[in-house]
Amino acid sequence: MNSPAPSPPFVPSEVEVRGASAPRLRLGRTGAVVRGKLKTNAPLAPLVWFKSGGAAELLFEPADRDDLVQLLGGLDPQTPVMALGLGSNMIVRDGGVPGVTVRLGKAFAKIERVDEVTLRCGGGASGILVSSIARDAGIAGLEFLRGIPGTVGGFVRMNGGAYGREVSDILVGCTVVLRDGQVEQWSAERLGYSYRYSELPEGAVVVEAVFRGQSGDPSVIGVEMDRIAAAREAAQPLRSRTGGSTFKNPPGHKAWALVDAAGCRGLRIGDAQVSHKHCNFLLNLGNASSSEIEELGETVRRRVRSSTNIELEWEIQRIGVE
């Protein structure tokens, strides 16, 4: 007797959502049940700072690490996977994001103290939360995370930094769920950090990280965090629809100064504008499309190249289909 044909691998187009709050999905390859929140054709504009862009083909908020492992392990290998944090450094293109967008929720925002100077942090914890917990625990050296508008998973992947420090200065290691569902421990050295870059593979999701500082006085740490918060408020358009720093600083230069010298301060395409307050920030003044925001960025890059022969590199992620 012939053996039954194997079940086809799970692909987003085959998702069946049963109920808005707690959908259940059987993966064809493993027969496992996904327990987290799962939505098809989920708008991403409300979840990113620019408030623009299309929908995720599939948006998944895993219940825990095992839930994420089950889903990734059952996906067709060709299905793209992207992790979404606070959406603070991202342009979601108007055509939307194919494949699976993974958003780490409250289950991944836990923080615990390992020893006197070390914290273990979930990939969904914000920089503000991590730095505040460190302050209360008397752990110095993590204050700069107060100035990074993102989550642990995002700034570990990108070696996020602010006010003279980077994640590479404090990271001991991280736990990663790879694209195929395998769980690995990566040391800071293995990440191969450089400026706003790591060697984490495409589709990998950082679910936990360990940060180490040094002993400090909580009151002194708090003063430094307040200084960072005040400096950001004074210099950056934090109350606008923006995406954070748009371009990387070229060696020996500040991106904002190059943009300003090229005459781009206040430059506008539709409702997309270069900020007057800090011209390495792009703004959505109301109804800008993602294509207008990205076009404005490319216009700035051309003008800087023409006036200085310096090629600005995007720091903001640009994802999805145009």
3-state secondary structure 294-312: HHHHHHHHHHHHHHHCCCC
What does the longest C-alpha to C-alpha distance in the chain come to? 76
**Which residues face 212 on adjacent strands?**
118
- Quote the number of domains for the chain: 3
pLDDT digits over 112-144, tens only? 999 999 999 999 999 999 999 999 999 999 999
Judgement on whether residues 201 and 297 belong to the same structural domain of the protein: no
> Domain residues for 281?
238-319
Can you tell me the distance from the alpha carbon of 2 to that of 248, in angstroms, rounded to the nearest whole number? Answer: 59
254 and 216 in a common domain = no
Same domain as 271, residue 190: no
Is residue 5 included in any domain, yes or no? Answer: no
Is residue 248 one of the residues assigned to a domain? yes
Annotated catalytic residue: which of 52, 131, 198, 245? Answer: 245
What does the pLDDT look like over 198-211, one tens digit per residue? 999 999 999 999 99
**315 an active-site residue?**
yes
Assigned domain for 4 exists: no
What's residue 33's pLDDT?
Answer: 75
Residues 215 and 279 in one domain: no
Instruction: Identify the domain boundary among 86, 103, 120.
Output: 103
Domain boundary among 61, 78, 103: 103
d(CA 215, CA 303): 47
Sheet holding 205-212, edge to edge: 111-115, 118-122, 205-212, 171-177, 183-187
Is 207 part of any domain?
Answer: yes
Residues in the chain: 322
pLDDT higher for 153 or 238?
Answer: 153
- Would you place residue 236 in the very low, low, confident or very high pLDDT band (cuts 50, 70, 90)? confident
Mean pLDDT to the nearest integer, 173-177: 98
pLDDT at 8: 39
What integer pLDDT is reported at residue 11 of this predicted model? 43
Do 250 and 219 lie in one domain? The reply is: no
Q: Based on the domain organization, do 95 and 135 belong to the same domain?
A: no
Share of the chain above pLDDT 90, in %: 80
* Residues 235, 232: Cα–Cα separation, whole Å: 5
- pLDDT > 80? residue 1: no
Query: 294: domain CATH number?
Result: 3.90.78.10
Say if residue 117 is in the same domain as residue 84. no
CB atoms within 10 A of CB 69: 20
Output the CA–CA distances (angstroms, integers) from residue 20 to 24, 37, 42, 65, 97, in the order listed: 10, 8, 12, 21, 20
Q: Counting beta carbons within 10 angstroms of the beta carbon of residue 163, is it exposed (0 to 12), middle (13 to 18) or buried (19 or more)?
A: middle
Beta bridge partners of 166: 161
Q: Which of 31-35, 92-96, 171-175 is least confident?
A: 31-35
Q: What would the mean pLDDT of 82-98 be, rounded to a whole number?
A: 94
Residue tagged active-site, from 166, 208, 224, 315? 315
Domain co-membership, 158 together with 141: yes
255-307 tens-digit pLDDT = 999 999 999 999 999 999 999 999 999 999 999 999 999 999 999 999 999 99
Instruction: Judge whether 2 lies within some domain.
Output: no
Angle (deg, nearest 10), helices 218-235 and 127-136 = 150
Cβ partners under 8 Å of residue 3, min gap 6: none
Contact 127, 151 (CB under 8 A): yes
In the DSSP assignment, the letter for residue 146 is G
Q: How many Cβ atoms are within 10 Å of 310's Cβ, its own excluded? A: 15
Q: How does pLDDT run across 207-223, given as a tens digit for each residue?
A: 999 999 999 999 999 99
Q: 19 and 64: one domain?
A: yes
Q: Mean of the per-residue pLDDT values for the chain?
A: 90
196, 212, 241, 303: the catalytic one is 196
Distance CA(202)–CA(152), nearest Å, equals: 17
Average pLDDT over residues 178-187: 97
301 is catalytic: no
Residue 3 confidence (pLDDT) = 45
CATH classification of the domain holding 226: 3.30.465.10
Chosen domain end from 234, 269, 297: 234
Least confident of 20-34, 79-93, 227-241: 20-34
Q: Are residues 114 and 207 in the same domain?
A: yes
Letter for the amino acid at 247? F
pLDDT of residue 34: 83
| End-to-end CA, the chain | 50
How many angstroms separate the CA atoms of 51 and 89, rounded?
12
> What pLDDT, in 10s, does the model give residues 40-68?
999 999 999 999 999 999 999 999 999 99
Whether residue 1 is contained in a domain is answered as no
The answer to whether residue 3 sits within a structural domain is no
- Residue 251 in this model has a pLDDT that exceeds 80: yes
Looking at the DSSP bridge assignments, the partners of residue 55 are 43
Q: Does residue 118 sit in the same domain as residue 228? A: yes
Let me know if 196 is a catalytic residue: yes
Instruction: Please check the confidence at residue 24 and state whether its pLDDT lies above 50.
Output: no
CATH code of the domain containing 92: 3.30.43.10
Say if residue 310's pLDDT is above 50: yes
Q: Does residue 280 share a domain with residue 174? A: no
DSSP-assigned states of every residue in 227-239: HHHHHHHHHS-TT
Does a structural domain hold residue 17? Answer: yes
pLDDT score recorded for residue 22: 36
Residue whose C-alpha is closest to residue 104's, from 69, 70, 65: 65
